[in-house]
Structure 1
Amino acid sequence: MKKILLLSFVLLCCFFVMLLWQFIKPEAKLAESKIAEKQVDDFILHMRVNETEKGIQVLQSIQYVGKEIVEIKHQSPLVSVSLLNRNHDYTGSTVSKALKKGDVYPGEEIIFPSPKKGECNLYLQARFNVNGEEVSIDHVEKLFFE
């Protein structure tokens, strides 16, 4: 009788451990890393998406390829990034940065939790002013999770 109770207890513990493991593991893994760039006028939006232990890492930057030195002004963040829904939010005071040809202005690293399996969109938008004119670079990247 004691052996049956002990065996039942061990099986029950194993079941709870497996159940708990199902809830704490990420929903899905990024099928492949992505690299993309989009140019508007003298500016290139660079984007890289990787799978990390913490979730989906998004790195982004703006590169200036024009001839003259320019000063860009923007609110934070430099590049707004959202997963699943197109929701861009810029806050804070205006930031100014002088750029010359070839300069890369990096945005902050962003980590998203892994979504469910399937396909979803990653939305990026860089919005800033150059010489009083607004420049907006929008990009949508399809991501696949398995």
Structure 2
Amino acid sequence: MRKLYISAILIILLILGGFWWISLNSKAELENTVKISESYEDFIIHIRVEKHEGGMQVLRSIEYTGKEEVIIEHRTPLTQVTIDQPNGSFTGSFVSKTLRPGFSYHPQEPIHFDSLDKGEHKIYVHTQFFIEEERVDIETEGRLVFK
């Protein structure tokens, strides 16, 4: 009787171990770090997508290359990033920032995403800000591969 209990427990442990191993090895990973840059007049949007614990993280910044200081106003987030759907929204409160020549502005913490399904995915990037009440929209997209 005791051997039967031990055998049953071992079988259950093997099954649970198998499920655990499958779940660890079935998650897709970002194949390569992806860098996206998009220019508009005196501004360059920089995006970096890299592997992170259990998924990926997206780093965002805007670089100002003009010759004189400029004040921009933007809602949060300054740069909206979405995966597989171009549906960025800017609903936060307004922020005002003075940019000097050569200045890189990193207004947000990295965005963390869980691992995506294996295959190709599109990343949509939309940056929106105002200069003297004139709206500036900078949009681009990139490709992510998960294996």
1:53 matched to 2:53? The reply is yes
TM-score using structure 2 length: 0.90
Q: Note if contact 1:63-1:105 (Cα within 8 Å) is conserved in structure 2.
A: yes
Find the aligned partners of 2:43 and 2:94 in 1 and give their Cα distance.
19
Q: Note if contact 1:64-1:100 (Cα within 8 Å) is conserved in structure 2.
A: yes
Per the TM alignment, residue 72 of structure 1 is displaced from its structure 2 partner at its CA by 0.3
Find the aligned partners of 1:81 and 1:15 in 2 and give their Cα distance.
40
Tell me which residue corresponds to 1:3. Answer: 3
Tell me which residue corresponds to 1:71. Answer: 71
Tell me which residue corresponds to 1:137. Answer: 138
SS at match of 2:7: helix
Find the aligned partners of 1:55 and 1:30 in 2 and give their Cα distance.
7
Q: Which runs of no fewer than 5 residues in structure 2 stay unpaired? A: none
Find the aligned partners of 2:127 and 2:41 in 1 and give their Cα distance.
13
Equivalent position amino acid for 2:40 in 1: V
TM-score using structure 1 length: 0.91
CA gap of 1:27–1:84, structure 2 versus 1, over 3 A, is farther
Q: Note if contact 1:70-1:131 (Cα within 8 Å) is conserved in structure 2.
A: no
**More divergent stretch after superposition (39-48 vs 15-24):** 15-24
**More divergent stretch after superposition (50-59 vs 18-27):** 18-27
1:95 matched to 2:67? The reply is no
Per the TM alignment, residue 38 of structure 1 is displaced from its structure 2 partner at its CA by 0.8
CA gap of 1:42–1:26, structure 2 versus 1, over 3 A, is farther
**More divergent stretch after superposition (18-27 vs 73-82):** 18-27
RMSD: 1.8
Q: Which runs of no fewer than 5 residues in structure 1 stay unpaired? A: none
Q: How many residues align?
A: 146
Tell me which residue corresponds to 2:14. Answer: 14
Equivalent position amino acid for 1:96 in 2: S
SS at match of 1:92: coil
CA gap of 1:65–1:116, structure 2 versus 1, over 3 A, is same
